[in-house]
Structure 1
Amino acid sequence: MPSSNQLSPIKFAYWVPNVSGGLIISNIEQRTSWDIDYNRKLARIAEEAGFEYALSQIRFTAGYGAEYQHESISFSHALLESTSTLKVIAAVLPGPWHPAVLAKQIATIDHLSGGRVAVNIVSGWFRGEFTAIGEHWLEHDERYRRSEEFIRAIKGIWTADNFNFQGDFYRFHDYSLKPKPLQQPHPEIFQGGSSRAARDMASRVSDWYFTNGNTVEGIKAQVDDIRAKASANGHSVKIGVNAFVIARDTEAEAKAVLHEIIDKANPEAVKAFSHEVQQAGKASPEGEGNWAKSTLEDLVQYNDGFKTNLIGTPEQIAERIVALKHIGVDLVLTGFLHFQEEVAYFGKHVLPLVRQLENEQSVAA
């Protein structure tokens, strides 16, 4: 009998370009803008194209090509007001956010949007960002321990009255939030990471786990690990994978775009980004965190999106997406060079092929 993952259509999300510079550290031309008018139109295009989710980014300071940044929760609300079915995931950082503030913000937006908001808990990779705003920088596993308390706290606030919690980072005493969110039992909670601490946290408390781009074999190892641990914990978690999509009419065209992105990369910015994120990734005790084994070429795209290899013709990309689904991936989190036109192209030329392949495999099963 097919698994529930095989029976459910794979879902699609896109990175909201609410920070300048797009999703690559390159001087290649990008017909992508971080402003609200561009992003409102993009959200409507994505919704019409068949995307279920959009993920707004959280950045507090400039760096690595991202000179300007809009705040994620406010921006997410604006996109929700411009759409009718798209669910927007607002990225937040424990430390700058307190769980009570976040829980109340999201509960209100959930009512205003008809139950279409979610959160992505980012444990933090940019040390300079924390120190610049006077936030204490915790060691790797401590950041995930704080994030787990954060998630347990917002879940409790959203689902219980007279909520009590005694943690090392957060404490609550008979706290009741009203109104509760519309979504039951609560808005979806996403998190990212590749380290042992990140995967273990997902297996205990998160609804969704985002991993950086990787090979099918690398992703499968993470999926199997998380699912086994979650099952042992009596928990279930869905898996999302980062991918930078370059879909063109021919494979040669797609690869030419990839080569141009890398050839026009900003080497100083890539090296600075590499130093920052690899310090964060290798800081995990086992040295297996995000970016720990990324090459400089991988890091031209912030989240190792080239590694997932959704680069080629619509047919090639659709086949690779279904292969990801086959190993247990529930969602593909996409980035693009020219967001508006490429999201539309993806919706017209790639997504129908994915659905066709899914239907064929379902019938065969």
Structure 2
Amino acid sequence: MTTYHDKTEATSDDAIKFAYWVPNVSGGLVISNIEQRTGWDIDYNRKLAQIAEASGFDYALTQVRFTAGYGAEFQHESVSFSHALLAATEKLEVIAAILPGPWNPALAAKQIATIHHLTHGRIAVNIVSGWFRGEFAAIGESWLDHDERYRRSEEFIRALKGIWTEDRFTFRGDFYQFDNYSLKPKPLDPHPEIFQGGSSRAARDMASRVSDWYLTNGNTPEEIAKQVDDIRAKAARNDHEVKIGVNAFAIARETEHEARAVLAEIIAKANPEAVNAFGHEVKNAGKASPEGQGNWAKSTFEDLVQYNDGFRSNLIGTPHQIAERILDLKRAGADLILLGFLHFQEEVEYFGKHVIPLVRELEAAEPLPIAAE
């Protein structure tokens, strides 16, 4: 049973974290022909990272793409792009997306360890198990069944942790093998945080064993709470702790009517061919899981206009409405909100000025749970 203090202030550890999707691929974060004043080039992204850092964001997450599709005609490589953003900032932590298959854990461990030293510990990784079969075929990588992709990712994470923490790392897995491997220098202590995505049973099971952070698609607080309860119960049985990040697409405007009008325009100007093609790929990937579920199993056409069901988190309205809904997600178990925007530079700045302070005020007034005796 949980009891509560009458009133206390949220500490920095208790405060919900904020991250943004780095637009290091073209096309923005919605599959729509609406104007998106967002650039995928390095100059735009350096300035965006500096704005985000000054606006109270904790993390930036780069994307990994190897082929064009769904509006993403151009793609910058995630690890090197992450390093460039780190060089332009002082506090922001950047999460580099890494895809097992193209990356070997020995290479990734060495790359990230070096960047960890160069940036005083501000690099993290997001291990992406993969959903686009055509991309794997295009670059000559084998396509594994759904749960096999997560098994490989789990081995990848175990290899990263072993290389980063053991003097002589030996590992005999089905996908990776190491024999008395010693990486020097190792990353700073603690080693880089490890994120992963997914909503399937295999994704949650993997996170409950090895990941520091679990990122899931946008959803209602009620549905997020179900995932949180499942993953944390499993993690407790594994003597492990994992934090939860929730995807959301934010449209913060002075009035709810104005915000809803922007959403309606995004959907009205959606590219049906691209949205349906994206939906076909991601739903097929999920159906391949034993339970026939995945990140996009219940996504509608409107949901799929934003890659990761960001509209379903409902951060659309006035700053105060959005702040209250963020608190609802936090109560459901979210530790981080991963945000996409239509016009990144200006909207990240607006969000930092008008939404994050309201969230902090609401957190300070929120009774915090304490363990019952």
Question: TM tier, shorter chain?
Answer: over 0.9
RMSD: 1.4
1:59 to 1:363, Cα distance in 2 relative to 1, 3 A? closer
Q: Secondary structure at the match of 1:12?
A: strand
Match of 2:222 among 211, 214, 217: 217
The answer to whether the Cα contact below 8 Å between 2:224 and 2:333 also exists between their aligned partners in 1 is no
For the pair 1:187 / 2:167, whether they are aligned, the reply is no
Which residue pairs with 1:13 in the alignment?
19
The answer to whether the Cα contact below 8 Å between 2:4 and 2:368 also exists between their aligned partners in 1 is no
Which residue pairs with 1:34 in the alignment?
40
Q: Secondary structure at the match of 2:60?
A: strand
Distance 1:183 1:36 in 2: 30
Q: Within 5 Å, which residues of 2 pair with 1:342-353?
A: 342-353=347-358
Distance 1:232 1:82 in 2: 41
Distance 2:68 2:342 in 1: 20
For the pair 1:57 / 2:80, whether they are aligned, the reply is no
The answer to whether the Cα contact below 8 Å between 2:4 and 2:369 also exists between their aligned partners in 1 is no
TM-score normalised by length of structure 1:
0.98
Aligned length in residues: 363
Q: Specify the code of the residue in structure 1 equivalent to 2:110.
A: K
Q: Within 5 Å, which residues of 2 pair with 1:228-239?
A: 228-239=233-244
Distance 2:365 2:347 in 1: 26
Match of 1:260 among 261, 265, 274: 265
For the pair 1:292 / 2:293, whether they are aligned, the reply is no
Distance 1:246 1:284 in 2: 33
- CA offset at residue 183 of structure 1? 3.5
1:285 to 1:189, Cα distance in 2 relative to 1, 3 A? same
Where has structure 1 moved over 3 Å in runs of 4 or more?
Answer: 362-365
Q: Specify the code of the residue in structure 2 equivalent to 1:141.
A: D
Q: Within 5 Å, which residues of 2 pair with 1:97-176?
A: 97-176=103-182
Percent sequence identity is 77
Match of 1:81 among 83, 87, 95: 87
- CA offset at residue 2 of structure 1? 5.4
Point out where structure 1 has 5 or more consecutive residues left out of the alignment. Answer: none
TM-score normalised by length of structure 2:
0.96
Distance 1:363 1:68 in 2: 45
1:133 to 1:348, Cα distance in 2 relative to 1, 3 A? same
The answer to whether the Cα contact below 8 Å between 1:110 and 1:183 also exists between their aligned partners in 2 is no
Distance 1:364 1:229 in 2: 21
- CA offset at residue 288 of structure 1? 1.8
The answer to whether the Cα contact below 8 Å between 1:80 and 1:87 also exists between their aligned partners in 2 is yes
Distance 2:38 2:291 in 1: 38
Taking CA–CA contacts closer than 8 Å with sequence separation of 6 or more, which of the two structures ends up with the larger relative contact order? 2
Distance 1:271 1:302 in 2: 12
Distance 2:163 2:369 in 1: 45
Q: Specify the code of the residue in structure 2 equivalent to 1:36.
A: I
> For residues 214-271 of structure 1, what are the alpha-carbon distances to aligned partners after superposition, in whole Å with 9 as ceiling and x for unaligned?
1111100000000000001100000000000000000000000000000000010001
Which residue pairs with 1:275 in the alignment?
280
> For residues 79-138 of structure 1, what are the alpha-carbon distances to aligned partners after superposition, in whole Å with 9 as ceiling and x for unaligned?
000000000000010000000000000000001111000000000000000000000000
For the pair 1:313 / 2:318, whether they are aligned, the reply is yes
For the pair 1:67 / 2:67, whether they are aligned, the reply is no
Match of 1:47 among 44, 50, 53: 53
- CA offset at residue 361 of structure 1? 1.1
Q: Specify the code of the residue in structure 1 equivalent to 2:355.
A: V
Which residue pairs with 2:30 in the alignment?
24
